[in-house]
């Protein structure tokens, strides 16, 4: 079955990036010159997605505006013959059919996804977390997961190895290797605190494909870690009952929901940027050679 629908949950409070996210949604924070959510929408589109539901909440109108037309700005750029700049914004309202629904109360990722029931209908949906940007790799991450859904016919999670220290803040999955980057997942837990719950050092990072059964499961999933309705708890039922497929996707993932992740994304994506990449590389060489990394207080 062809997967053409994607859900992007973007209704979190973004408290780890305050004060920047007091007014500005974290999904709109720029990585060089594009807001994070644009990378995510582009990945979905490059994976064959035609319809996207973005889950928002109060104050996230910037996201809707970003994927809308900007008639005044566009006509000024046209008048001034700034065609490159015009091209950089004029396609944004045509990338996909983008729909929006509000999560009125911030009750967790699982609760946010439950708002997509009507949108999904009887179709499987791709889920791309609004604060996980994935770039590079052999194919867009969502495409790698969609291909695995086509091959194995079960819900799919995108996984990556993390450190033992990190895993307590992430999810943890029990997996058996099938072949190459494909695993069978039979259990998972959100934020494992006890040693015996650390099944592996693989975590679900930002991407999954959910079959329509997930919505009934979500409706009966009680609040879990952080007293939030956790998507991992609902997917656990799928993993235990019917099994899920896990794909170690090939791209590089940046968590733009925390300050360090934003810095890494900005530097690494900036280094390859067609307009400023070379100048930025030169700047970084000079900066590292200046000894500033050993004495950052020199800049204070
Ligand atoms: P996070 O837990 O990283 O988002 O959720 P958060 O709540 O904004 O994080 P804090 O406040 O910094 O700890 C992962 C994804 O799920 C969305 C977020 O927007 C993010 O894309 N989310 C989370 C929702 O849509 N609704 C929620 O209730 C919680």
CA of 254 to the centre of ligand 1 (A): 15
Cβ–Cβ < 8 Å for 156, 183: no
Cβ–Cβ < 8 Å for 144, 182: no
Q: Which atom of ligand 1 is nearest to the CA of 132?
A: 21
Best mutation site among 105, 109, 116, 206 for ligand 1 pocket (most ligand atoms within 8 Å of CB): 109
Query: Does ligand 1 lie within 6 Å of residue 34's CB atom?
Result: no
In this prediction the pTM is 0.96
Strands 156-161 and 202-210: antiparallel
CATH architecture of 5-289: Alpha-Beta Complex (3.90)
Show Cβ contacts of residue 279 under 8 Å, excluding neighbours closer than 6 positions.
Answer: none
Domain ranges of the chain: 5-289
Q: Which residues, in sequence order, are bridge partners of residue 34?
A: 31
Per residue in 36-69, pLDDT (tens digit) is 999 999 999 999 999 999 999 987 789 999 999 9
Checking if the pLDDT of 221 tops 80, the result is yes
Q: Which residue has the tokens 């065609």?
A: 83
CA-CA distance, 240 to 74, in Å (whole number)? 52
Query: Does ligand 1 lie within 6 Å of residue 257's CB atom?
Result: yes
Per residue in 253-285, pLDDT (tens digit) is 999 999 999 999 999 999 999 999 999 999 999
Helix axes 83-90, 71-79, angle to 10 degrees: 160
Query: Does ligand 1 lie within 6 Å of residue 261's CB atom?
Result: no
Best mutation site among 8, 25, 253, 257 for ligand 1 pocket (most ligand atoms within 8 Å of CB): 257
Query: Does ligand 1 lie within 6 Å of residue 140's CB atom?
Result: no
């Amino acid at each position: 079955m062809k997967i053409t629908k994607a859900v992007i949950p973007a209704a979190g409070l973004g408290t780890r990036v305050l004060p920047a996210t007091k007014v500005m949604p974290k999904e709109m924070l720029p990585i060089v010159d594009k807001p994070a959510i644009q990378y995510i929408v582009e990945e979905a589109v490059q994976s064959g997605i035609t319809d996207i539901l973005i889950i928002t909440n109060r104050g996230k109108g910037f996201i809707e505006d970003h994927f809308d037309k900007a008639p005044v700005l566009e006509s000024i750029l046209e008048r001034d013959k700034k065609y490159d700049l015009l091209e950089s914004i004029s396609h944004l309202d045509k990338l996909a059919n983008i729909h929006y629904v509000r999560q009125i109360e911030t009750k967790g990722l699982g609760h946010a996804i439950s708002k997509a029931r009507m949108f999904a209908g009887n179709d499987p949906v791709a889920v791309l977390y609004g604060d996980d940007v994935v770039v590079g790799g052999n194919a867009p991450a969502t495409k790698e997961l969609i291909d695995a859904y086509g091959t194995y016919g079960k819900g799919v999670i995108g996984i990556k190895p993390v450190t033992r220290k990190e895993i307590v803040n992430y999810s943890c999955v029990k997996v058996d290797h099938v072949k190459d980057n494909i695993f069978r997942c039979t259990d998972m837990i959100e934020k494992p605190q006890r040693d015996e719950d650390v099944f592996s050092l693989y975590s679900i990072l930002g991407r999954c494909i959910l079959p329509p059964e997930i919505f009934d499961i979500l409706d009966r999933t009680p609040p879990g870690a952080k007293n939030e309705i956790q998507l991992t708890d609902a997917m656990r039922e799928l993993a235990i009952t019917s099994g899920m497929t896990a794909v170690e996707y090939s791209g590089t993932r940046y968590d733009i929901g925390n300050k360090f992740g934003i810095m890494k994304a900005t530097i690494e994506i900036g280094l390859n940027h067609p307009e400023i990449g070379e100048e930025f590389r030169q700047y970084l060489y000079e900066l590292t050679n200046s000894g500033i990394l050993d004495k950052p207080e020199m800049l204070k």
